[in-house]
């Protein structure tokens, strides 16, 4: 059990077997701080020496690590901080076992009062002398305005406040009888007010700049160009509507550095710009691992919440929204336009996987998706990912798109889709653009029909890939593998979310019309 080292003090450390007193806390002899700079080392060494000098125990020099001093020897019951050298509790002061002058407390309090008086100048001349100064008569200031008399006293009819260019002196007396004066002119006060106003304006301007530089709702609400460039959405209202659909199902803890909206913007920037995780980490001030976790978290929820926006419309809705030129060329019963597109992936380590994903068309390892497009340009179906080696026919017959067909529907597809029998099984009809097999050249009508179809398909697929450039890059092989507990790999989720988001943007194909024998298309700008 530790005992206080001060001569004559019997206080011990706390014990459950005896009643605790107010001063049973024991404090170690301060150590010399070595690795925090020369000033800290010198100050801590000075404090340690002062403690030893106050304790006056030469017999304990061999046992310095075990020296303890209880709280009874400090004014506040505990030592002051290292940097509070003027504090009386910087070293033991009370009940040291020998006669000592205890002027430290009074000196510390007087110094504190003087600092307060210096930082609080008084304008009223009549209050120059403090009312609480005992035994000292209030005397007028020695220097004053021109309105004063030659003998150094104020006239009775002198105004209580000087004019603007006069110096106002406020005198206060400390207990030692020394007068302390704080001088400030009216011009100084006006200058300080102007400076304060200017600084406040600077603060407001800097806060506005921070709002624009940070990824906040205010920054995107005030800049449609920022919404279009970073997210691909047409305006902030659409962006915020999608955010409200998704965000309520995304977990978010109190320790998260980014808000939900900032995480949503990070997720969309990854899709829109295909930014590297390092780039996003620097932009948002988080680690790369945090960027990866945020993207995976939002991708899972967005896939579940936005998948319903890719739906197969009924025939009446298709006919009501079909462009007139498209209706004239292909009839009123067109249900969908089929095509496949491929996304490059990293080369798998497995030879079998390399073979399954190798695409002769792209000369690379790819994942292939089948997409169904309505005549007005909306994505109505997107398949799961297949290896780049799979044929268009195989994917069509096994992805489930044919289950949506109704008797009498017309399916438009490229000539690589040799699925007439499969479509006929559902009492539907396949319309394939004409090609020159067995012919010298196509007729003018066949050329026009083929060009209209290709323009329609290529513009829709091009819109999705240009708007969300993650589909144009080479994706990591980890995105292809299905993770534990997921019904689909991340790549499938990415493609689904991109197609759903494109459906929430203005249609790329509004009307197909014939002008001067050429096919023209009214489109919105590609972002």
pLDDT given at position 516: 34
Confidence of residue 506 (pLDDT cuts 50, 70, 90): confident
- What whole-number distance in Å separates Cα of residue 523 and Cα of residue 13? 84
Task: Please tell me the number of Cα atoms within 13 Å of 452 on its side-chain side.
Answer: 28
pLDDT given at position 464: 85
Q: Which position has the higher pLDDT, 2 or 80?
A: 80
Confidence of residue 290 (pLDDT cuts 50, 70, 90): very high
Least confident of 62-71, 226-235, 401-410, 436-445: 436-445
pLDDT given at position 21: 52
Span 9-19, pLDDT tens digits:
888 876 545 55
CA distances from 479 to 296, 397, 429, 482 (A): 10, 25, 36, 8
Task: Please tell me the number of Cα atoms within 13 Å of 309 on its side-chain side.
Answer: 19
Span 305-347, pLDDT tens digits:
999 999 999 988 888 888 877 787 778 888 998 889 999 999 9
Query: What's the predicted TM-score (pTM) here?
Result: 0.59
- SS3 label, residue 370: strand
- Can you give the three-state secondary structure of 214-229, one letter per residue? CCCHHHHHCCHHHHHH
Q: Which two tokens stand for residue 118?
A: 């210096």
Least confident of 41-55, 65-79, 149-163, 420-434: 149-163
287-302: average pLDDT: 96
pLDDT(475) > 90: yes
Span 52-79, pLDDT tens digits:
888 888 777 777 888 888 988 888 888 8
pLDDT given at position 14: 67
Least confident of 2-16, 417-431, 477-491: 2-16
CA distances from 310 to 300, 383, 482 (A): 16, 11, 22
pLDDT given at position 460: 74
pLDDT(232) > 70: yes
pLDDT mean across residues, the chain:
78
Contact partners, residue 452, CB within 8 Å, separation at least 6: 325, 326, 329, 512, 519
Contact partners, residue 200, CB within 8 Å, separation at least 6: none
Contact partners, residue 65, CB within 8 Å, separation at least 6: 29
Span 26-57, pLDDT tens digits:
888 888 888 888 888 888 889 888 888 888 88
Span 105-141, pLDDT tens digits:
666 677 777 777 776 555 444 444 444 444 444 444 4
Phi, psi angle pair for 69, to nearest 5°: -130, 130
Architecture of domain 310-522: 2-Layer Sandwich (3.30)
Confidence of residue 151 (pLDDT cuts 50, 70, 90): very low
Q: Domain extents for the chain?
A: 26-102, 214-306, 310-522
pLDDT(509) > 90: no
pLDDT given at position 356: 92
**Where do we find the tokens 């040799």?**
418
**Where do we find the tokens 């972002």?**
527
Number of helices and strands in the chain (H, E): 16, 13
pLDDT(442) > 60: no
% residues pLDDT > 90 (the chain): 35
Phi, psi angle pair for 169, to nearest 5°: -115, 135
């Amino acid at each position: 059990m530790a005992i206080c080292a001060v001569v004559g003090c019997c206080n011990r450390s706390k014990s459950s077997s005896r009643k605790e007193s107010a001063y049973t806390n024991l404090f170690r002899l301060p150590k010399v701080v070595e690795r925090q700079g020369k000033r800290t080392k010198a100050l801590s060494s000075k404090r340690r020496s002062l403690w030893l000098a106050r304790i006056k125990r030469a017999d304990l020099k061999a046992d310095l690590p075990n020296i303890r001093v209880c709280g009874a020897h400090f004014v506040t019951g505990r030592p002051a901080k290292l940097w509070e050298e003027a504090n009386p509790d910087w070293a033991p002061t009370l009940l040291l076992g020998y006669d000592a002058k205890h002027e430290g407390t009074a000196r510390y309090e007087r110094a504190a009062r003087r600092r307060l008086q210096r930082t609080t100048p008084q304008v009223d001349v009549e209050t120059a002398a403090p009312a609480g100064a005992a035994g000292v008569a209030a005397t007028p200031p020695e220097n004053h305005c021109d309105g004063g008399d030659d003998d150094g006293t104020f006239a009775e009819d002198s105004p209580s406040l000087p004019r603007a260019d006069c110096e106002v002196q406020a005198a206060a007396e400390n207990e030692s009888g020394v007068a302390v004066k704080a001088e400030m002119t009216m011009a100084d006060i006006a200058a300080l007010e102007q400076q304060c106003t200017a600084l406040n304006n600077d603060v407001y301007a800097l806060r506005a700049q921070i709002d624009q530089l940070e990824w906040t709702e205010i920054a995107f609400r005030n800049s449609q160009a920022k919404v279009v460039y970073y997210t691909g959405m047409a305006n902030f209202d659409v962006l915020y509507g999608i955010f409200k659909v998704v965000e309520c199902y995304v977990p978010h803890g109190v320790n998260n550095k980014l808000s939900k909206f900032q995480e949503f913007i990070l997720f969309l920037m990854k899709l829109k710009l295909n930014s590297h995780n390092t780039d996003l980490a620097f932009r948002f001030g988080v680690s790369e691992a945090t960027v990866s976790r945020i993207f995976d978290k939002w991708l899972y929820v967005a896939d579940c919440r936005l998948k319903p926006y890719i739906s197969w419309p009924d025939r009446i809705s298709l006919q009501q929204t079909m462009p007139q030129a498209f209706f004239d060329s292909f009839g009123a019963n067109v249900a969908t336009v089929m095509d496949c597109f491929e996304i490059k992936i990293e080369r798998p380590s497995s030879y079998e996987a390399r073979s399954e994903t190798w695409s002769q068309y792209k000369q690379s390892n790819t994942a292939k998706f089948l997409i169904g497009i309505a005549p007005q340009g909306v994505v109505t179906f997107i398949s799961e990912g297949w290896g780049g080696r799979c044929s268009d026919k195989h994917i069509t017959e096994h992805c489930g798109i044919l289950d949506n067909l109704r008797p009498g529907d017309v399916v438009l597809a490229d000539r690589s889709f040799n699925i007439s029998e499969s479509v006929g099984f559902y009492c539907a009809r396949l319309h394939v653009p004409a090609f020159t097999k067995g012919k010298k050249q196509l007729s003018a009508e066949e050329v026009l029909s083929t060009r209209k179809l290709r323009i329609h398909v290529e513009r829709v697929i091009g819109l999705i890939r240009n708007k969300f450039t993650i589909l144009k890059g080479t994706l990591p092989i980890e995105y292809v593998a299905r993770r534990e507990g997921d019904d689909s790999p991340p790549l499938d989720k990415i493609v689904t979310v991109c197609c759903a988001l494109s459906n929430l943007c203005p249609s790329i194909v509004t009307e197909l019309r014939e002008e001067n024998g050429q096919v023209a298309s009214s489109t919105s700008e590609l972002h």
